[in-house]
Amino acid sequence: MKMNDIKGILGDHVASGKPHLKMISCGEIMINRLPYSFSLQNIGAGSDDGLCVTLSGDDIDNGRIRFTDLIFIKTENGKSVQERYDLPLITKNDGKRLYQLRLDKLHLQEFDPSEASTEEEFLGVLSTQLTFRVTPLFEGDDMPEVMLSVYPFGDPLTGSATEWKKVTSDEDYFLHHLKKGRRKKFGRRR
């Protein structure tokens, strides 16, 4: 692919000279006590400035939703390696609380638009992906939202990846929604 083709798909930030994170895999919903994974790709320039993972929202601020740790899963020499970090609850200047982990020493590799045609190139592409896992702790009948944001310190304003995710205490969430969908789909047959 040519750089203009890639810029057309991913945007001008690919050639901006700054890191830019894009969410490439993110679960549908966070479920109480079940691991929730999300993956990102740096689609911009490389950076040695690190990044920051933040989980925030009203229900984190008031203590209804909690998180205890964060697992960073990286690929080294074709193998998956996990690093566990405490996920501290911090208080901002405005008094609101959020979970935030600063990974100051994390190197973001530059986005390489070349196609991976060999096993070595494919492993190189995998090593540029960032995968994280958190486990929410939440009890309640409602489904509050959490803002999940990851931003590179090399460009925190325009290089961030942000998603809003609902949280449920229904550990059988997917089974219940599958049953509801079947009733709607098959309920009118006789």
| pLDDT of res. 12 | 53
Which residues lie closer than 8 Å to 189 by C-beta, 6 or more apart? none
Residue 1 has pLDDT above 60, yes or no: no
What's the mean pLDDT in 77-104? 94
Check residue 11 and report its DSSP letter: -
Which residues lie closer than 8 Å to 22 by C-beta, 6 or more apart? 10, 40, 41, 42, 43, 161
Reported as a pLDDT band with limits 50, 70 and 90, residue 115 is: low
Residue 32 has phi, psi (to 5 degrees) of -45, 125
Average pLDDT, the chain: 83
Amino acid at site 54: T
Residue 124 has pLDDT above 60, yes or no: no
Q: What pLDDT digit, counting tens, does each position of 28-49 carry?
A: 899 999 999 999 988 888 899 9
Residue 154 has phi, psi (to 5 degrees) of -70, -20
Domain residue spans of the chain: 3-186
At the top level of CATH, which class does the domain 3-186 belong to? mainly beta
**Residue of 115 and 75 predicted with greater confidence:** 75
Q: On the CB side of 132, how many CA atoms lie within 13 Å of its CA? A: 23
Amino acid at site 140: G
Percent of the chain with pLDDT over 90: 55
pTM (2 decimals)? 0.79
**Residue of 12 and 20 predicted with greater confidence:** 20
CB atoms within 10 A of CB 128: 18
188's tokens: 């009118």
Q: What pLDDT digit, counting tens, does each position of 130-163 carry?
A: 999 999 999 999 999 999 999 999 999 899 999 9
Q: What pLDDT digit, counting tens, does each position of 8-19 carry?
A: 545 555 556 789
The answer to whether 54 touches 150, Cβ cutoff 8 Å, is yes
